Structure 1
Amino acid sequence: MGTAGETSGLALSQDILSGFAAMDDAQKLDFFRDVARGMNIDPETVRSTLDAYERDPSKATYRAFASAAEPRRQELIRRLNALPGATGALVRMRADLLRLSRGDPELEAFDLDFRHLFASWFNRGFLVLRPISWESPAHILEKIIAYEAVHAIDSWDDLRRRLEPADRRCFAFFHPAMPDEPLIFVEVALTRGIPGSVQDLLVEDRKAIASHEADTAVFYSISNCQAGLASVSFGNSLIKQVAADLSANLPSLRTFVTLSPIPGLRSWLAAEGLEQPEPDQMSALAAHYLLNAKATDGAPYDPVARFHLGNGAIVHAVHSDADVSDKGRKQSGGVMVNYLYDLKKIAQNHEKFATAKTVAASAAVKTLAAGADLSKSQER
């Protein structure tokens, strides 16, 4: 941190990043703790500089306070990032920090410094939206296979079925400092009408349609690729940008929906004493869960619901037997949900959700939820 010369500073950055990459977990934990404690703020200096600013607000007193209130470890991260190619290494470093810091208050506070800097470095203005096709470089396609987190890609043939047909699209955000690393990607099916089964979308022998014949764009898989960018949100920007681009290029598209999993449903059913509901009740219970099950902050309990509703979507339709894979059965009893993105109402829905946690839903979903049988829960 005391190095003045650019060349020596870059050499030290290289030494630190190379040394960190070679460490085992115990050594990485020691490194994180040493930085967290040795480069933290000094509360007394923060208090005294704030008092000085309150007594005499000026450029000088504000600079002194701002300097005291920023941990020196933030400047360490910035200096490491001055090394060409270091951004990806720092994202991987934060992934290790998140993995190793659980339950450690000092390290969790250190992570806030990474989050603060990454929120600026990975601002939407720096991100580049790129289409991914069957013609994309092999090293990018390999990463799409590896990072797919919703519906596993079993083979190159499976990937080809998702990318090559005229009624399929894939888009990813990239950062100029990490040009070969997708940050997040979305897979899109162009369909006639709103689908209620992911297996129908992914079946091997389906007949493709011409893109201009489609009236609906279905976002059926959204995957974050970088563990080190957790809590740095750009998924909402991705969906809105893709919807806008598709709408501009394919005027026949009228509807933009997801076909989404409901990952918290099974755990909620178990907590409510409804581990084995009647099959004909699964959709109704899922609708009730999406509309009424809340976390401690008043937002929906389901993480995917929080994401899409926070983006301004509405709960449009609930489908039973929509994902009959082992994973789909395990996490939600096979039930899936369409979140509808009405491009004219996204801002309005987002505002209501942000201010009052209002869950926007179609009349059909509200009616379905009203028919949910919660008697077992009430008896318990």
Structure 2
Amino acid sequence: VHSMNGWEDLRRRLAADRRCYAFFHPAMQDEPIIFVQVALSCGLSSSIQELLETPEREELDNSTDTAIFYSISDCQKGLKGISLGNFLIKQVVMEIRKEAPQINQFATLSPIPGFRTWLRKKLEEEEPNNGLTELIKFPLVKGPISQAIYSEEQKTKVLKLCAEYLYLVKKNEEPIDPVARFHLRNGASIRRLNWNGDTSIKGVEQSLGIMVNYHYDLTRVEERHEAFVNQKKISIDREFSKQISDTEIQSSK
């Protein structure tokens, strides 16, 4: 998901406070089927750039309490229709808990690939003369989207619309966003949105730089998985619920 920038970047992603897990098959012993990159950190991460650039921690102490799944990559196009990511994540959680029992929080730092496209279309149809519409059309460049570009009011509105996109915009009763579908089906909940979560050109083009944390509460994963599969219920945490009005939450039930 996040391309590597040379050997130093590769070395950092394989450092003492990082993990990389993969599924292999005997027929392709030297090539993974799918792999996930994990950062072991103190608390939840809100920026992929900060996560990738954080100095290496040579030892894991008791303050290392969180595992962040920040990149999941399918390597075989022919297996695209087979969902292996959920099995890999569950296996990885068991491995990490065995190795580092002090880690008690499992979450992702995930992209929102279709948000900007959806938002642009929505605003053009509903609010064509809104100043925000012109900002979204503008070919944004790499870097933090600061108040120099967006006012605080516009930032709040964009985050609210992003919450709406993840929680209310659906296809066949499931979220239209493919990453959201994947994690919610696995039993995760939507934890929070992160402004300037990915300030790369790709991140800005996809979602205006916003990223989302999905939270895997191990005591409720199966319950939430069943609720999503059988009732199409989307589980959300308190931080995310603050970005959606009670009316919108009720309308989705």
**TM-score class normalised by the smaller sequence:** 0.7 to 0.9
Q: 1:208 is matched by which residue type in structure 2?
A: R
Measured against aligned partners, the alpha-carbon deviations of 1:87-146 in whole angstroms (never above 9, x if no partner) come to xxxxxxxxxxxxxxxxxxxxxxxxxxxxxxxxxxxxxxxxxxxxxxxxxxxxxxxxxxxx
Contact 2:38 2:68 in 1 (8 A): yes
Report whether the alignment pairs 1:343 with 2:192: no
1:179-218 alignment, distance < 5 Å = 179-203=29-53, 206-208=55-57, 210-213=59-62, 214-218=64-68
Runs of 4+ in 1 over 6 A off after TM superposition: none
**Over residues 17-75 of structure 1, what are the superposed CA-to-partner deviations in whole Å (9 max), with x where a residue is unaligned?**
xxxxxxxxxxxxxxxxxxxxxxxxxxxxxxxxxxxxxxxxxxxxxxxxxxxxxxxxxxx
**Alignment counterpart, residue 9 of structure 2, candidates 158, 169, 184:** 158
Q: One-letter code of the match for 2:101?
A: P
TM-score (norm 1): 0.56
SS of 1:185 mapped into structure 2: strand
Please identify, of 359-368 and 233-242, the stretch whose mean Cα deviation from structure 2 is larger: 359-368
Q: Which residue of 1 aligns with 2:98?
A: 248
Once the two structures are superposed, what CA deviation does each residue of 1:326-374 show, in whole Å capped at 9, x if it has no partner?
00000000000000011111111000100111110012212212299xx
CA offset at residue 210 of structure 1?
2.1
Deviation at 1:206, TM superposition (A): 2.0
Higher radius of gyration, 1 or 2: 1
Q: Which residue is equivalent to 2:113?
A: 263
The answer as to whether partners of 1:263 and 1:331 remain within 8 angstroms in 2 is yes
Secondary structure at 2:45's aligned position in 1? coil
Question: RMSD over aligned Cα, in angstroms?
Answer: 1.8
Deviation at 1:209, TM superposition (A): 5.3
What pairs with 1:1-380 in structure 2 (closer than 5 Å)? Answer: 150-163=1-14, 165-203=15-53, 206-208=55-57, 210-213=59-62, 214-273=64-123, 275=133, 276=135, 278-295=154-171, 297-370=172-245
Confirm or deny: 8 A CA contact 2:110 2:214 kept in the other structure: yes
**2:46 maps to amino acid:** G
Name the aligned partner's letter for residue 169 of structure 1.
R
1:286–1:369 CA contact under 8 A, matched in 2: no
CA shift for structure 1 position 283: 2.1
**More strand per residue:** 2
1:273 alignment partner, SS class: helix
Compute the displacement of 1:282 (Å): 2.4
CA deviation after TM superposition for structure 1 residue 207, in Å: 4.2
Where relative contact order (Cα < 8 A, 6+ residues apart) is larger, the structure is 2
Identity across aligned pairs (percent)?
46
More helix by share: 1
- Distance (whole Å) between structure 2 residues aligned to residue 258 and residue 209 of structure 1: 22
Three-state SS of the structure 2 residue aligned to 1:369 is coil
Q: Indicate conservation of the 8 Å contact 2:16/2:56, yes or no.
A: no
